[in-house]
Structure 1
Amino acid sequence: MKRGTTKRRMRGTKESMSDGGMTVMRCFLWSLLLCSLSSRAQGFIYTCGGTLKGRNGTIESPGFPYGYPNGANCTWVIVGEEGSRIQLMFLSFAIEEEYDFLSLYDGHPHPTNFRTRITGFQVPPPVTSTGNVFSLRLTSDFAVSAHGFKLNYEELHSTSCGNPGVPPKALLSGAGRFAVGDSVQYSCVPGYVLDGHATLTCITNAGNTAVWDFPAPICRGMDH
């Protein structure tokens, strides 16, 4: 009787340990699965972009205007004719400030060609490359996003300065082909005063490239 009792107890103990071990194993595997899913969700990279050719066109961030994806890494390379330049005209811009960025490269997207990095919710002024290749790279983190951006790009020849842009609260007149010799005039809406040169003229610089003689002015509120 004693032996049978001992045997039953040992069997019960073994079964209990087996059940407990299976429970621990299930919990362990479930934890690994959750961790794996979490890592994938946080580490997913959304790629897009491409090489663009042609005299002009439009670029939008993926999902614009409803928001670009988290984990975005999108690169656009604009290639113009030999001897031309590329100008970017931003129509809309909203990128999570200090966490997501639009990086510009004066040439192909290589660190040596890095020009500037844009972030925030203000529409940037026009940007012009020095050569016939201009690259953009959108990078976002794995948290908050924003509406994104939309821009037009245009190929400029050596005799064109390109659109100088219209700053907030400013008015532009005299717009034409923006060629060498052309001038434009700026003014401000009521309640704002001009800070900078009211007239810009397209000239040829020492490198025989068409440029504006001054940067575009800005309009400041009269109470500032």
Structure 2
Amino acid sequence: MVGDVVQFLCEQGYSLQGNAHITCMPGPVRRWNYPVPLCLAQCGGSRKEVSGVILSPGFPGNYPSGLDCTWTVNLPVGFGIHLAFLNFSTEAIHDYLEIRSGTLEMGSVIDRFSGPVTPKSLFSTTHQTSFFFHSDYSQNKPGFHITYQAYQLQSCPDPRPFRNGIVIGTDFSVGMTVSFECLPGYSLIGEASLTCLHGISRNWNHPLPRCEGNTELTVSE
């Protein structure tokens, strides 16, 4: 009716293009005061929610040519994300999606996906995850529909008490490093520094070291 206002909200993964509110205007011909907006999947973006959606541009239609899109999921330290692929179809080899633990520049590659096969679900075990999508100038496909859900990362086992020595560092979470030193009269057997590994099962990158008493006696003349 005249004067009524309609509000538009997009589903997860889509961005609103246009006015979120439109009003039915008076006059001999009923019309809205603004064009009806659109919900479009964008090329890249940043996510901070604990759950969300990553869509290729134009989804569910074909993605355009010549794209280089980057999405990032930034969560509090101590959280990772579980990724589920609902749809996936790109031109094999030439169009691909690369997922990294960490930033696009410094993060380690989890995997690169290309072609018609929908990947299995996977985990990113860092609080920051990056998605990079590239398309060339030939074939266009429907692209991808990915959902993610945050989960809390566990810490590596507490190395204390460390007999006959001390542990330097109290943060045993993923990616953190602790060091070990022995008390006077003891020698360190093993690695002096350990890093908590990424992965579903939390473990240090080396066995825990130990401090053993020195058996050699120094005789002074």
TM-score by length of 1: 0.50
SS at match of 1:48: coil
User: 1:25-53: CA deviations, max 9, x gaps?
Assistant: xxxxxxxxxxxxxxxxxxxxxx8211110
2: distance between equivalents of 1:102 and 1:204? 26
2:94 corresponds to which letter in structure 1?
Answer: Y
Q: Are 1:66 and 2:55 an aligned pair?
A: no
Q: In the alignment, is residue 83 of structure 1 matched against residue 92 of structure 2?
A: no
What's the CA shift for 1:81? 1.6
Written as runs of structure 1 = structure 2, the 5 A alignment for 1:9-158 is: 48-110=43-105, 112-158=107-153
**Kept in 1: contact 2:75–2:127 (CA 8 A):** yes
Question: How far apart, in 2, do the equivalents of 1:114 and 1:75 lie?
Answer: 14
Distance in 2 separating the partners of 1:94 and 1:102? 10
Structure with the larger helix share: 1
1:213 paired residue number: none
Determine which of 206, 216, 221 is the counterpart of 2:203.
206
**Which amino acid is 1:132 matched to?**
H
Letter in 1 for 2:98: S
| Root-mean-square deviation over aligned CA pairs | 1.8
How far apart, CA to CA, are the structure 1 residues paired with 2:73 and 2:54?
A: 10
Q: What is the rounded CA distance, in whole Å, between the counterparts of 2:88 and 2:54 in structure 1?
A: 12
Change (3 A) 1:109 1:62: same
Which structure has the larger Rg over C-alpha atoms?
Answer: 1
Offset at residue 129 of structure 1 (A): 1.2
CA contact 2:110–2:124 (8 Å) conserved in 1: no
CA apart distance, 1:118: 0.5
**How far did 1:66 drift?**
1.3
Between the aligned partners of 1:136 and 1:204, the Cα distance in structure 2 is 24
Query: Which protein has the bigger strand share?
Result: 2
SS of aligned partner of 1:86: strand
State the alpha-carbon separation in 2 of the partners of residues 112 and 56 from structure 1: 21
Partner of residue 25, structure 1? none
SS in 2 for 1:104: strand
- Can you give the 5+ residue segments of structure 1 that lack an aligned partner in the other structure? 1-46, 160-202, 208-224
Q: Secondary structure at the match of 2:47?
A: strand
Q: 4+ residue runs of structure 1 moved beyond 3 angstroms?
A: none
The residue that corresponds to 1:217 in the other structure is none
Report % sequence identity. 33
Alpha-carbon distance in 2 for matches of 1:117, 1:111: 16
